Amino acid sequence: MNYATIKYNDIANGTGVRVSLFVSGCTHHCKGCFNAEAWDFTFGTPYTKKTEEEIIASLAPDYIAGLTVLGGEPFEPENQAEVLSLVTAVKSRYPHKTVWVYSGFTYEELLSDSRAATDTARALLQQIDVLVDGRFIEEQKNISLAFRGSENQRVINLPQTLQQG
C-alpha cells in the first residue's frame, strides 16, 4: 500500500484533533473528487511498518482524539490488510481514541457482494467507530455538511449500528 499524505493535526476529518492517513488507490473515480491524484495505487510513499509506528506514536498526546483513514479508498482490497493492521494496533494501544474511516463504498456494499466485501473488510468494520460512507456525488455537494462532502454520504456510528443489528 502507498499513502498520499499523513496529517498529524487534522480538524476537518472527524471530531476533535486527529491524525489522518490518506491512502493511495481508488477505483471509484468520483467526478469532482478533492483528492484525484490519490486514485493511483502507486501515488505517494510506500506504507511500511515504520510508517505505522510513527502514526501510532503520533496518537499519544491527550489532545489527539483519534485516527482517521481516508484516501484514495481504504476499503480497496489492495489496501485492506494494512489498514486493518493499523486500526487494530491503534485500538489495542489507545482504546479510548476513536477511529474514523471514509469510504466510497456504502456500509451495505461492504457487507454484500461488492469486490470490497471481504473477511478483512468485515474485520475492519468491527474496529471502526465511525464510517463515513458513499461515493462523492458532485451534484449533491453541500459545503455546510459536517464531515462529508455530498448529501448522499452518511456518518455512521458503527458500534451502535452493529449493536442494533
pLDDT tens for each residue of the chain, 165 residues long? 999 999 999 999 999 999 999 999 999 988 888 888 999 999 999 999 999 999 999 999 999 999 999 999 999 999 999 999 999 999 999 999 999 999 999 999 999 979 999 999 999 999 999 999 999 999 999 999 999 999 999 999 999 988 887
Cα–Cα dist 88/107, whole Å: 19
15-27 residues labelled b (16+ CB within 10 A) or e (exposed): eeebbbbbbbbbe
Between CA 14 and CA 110 the distance in angstroms is 21
What pLDDT, on the 0 to 100 scale, is given for residue 86? 98
pTM: 0.95
**Residue 5 has what pLDDT?**
96
pLDDT at 101: 98
Closest CA to 100 of 12, 8, 14, 3: 14
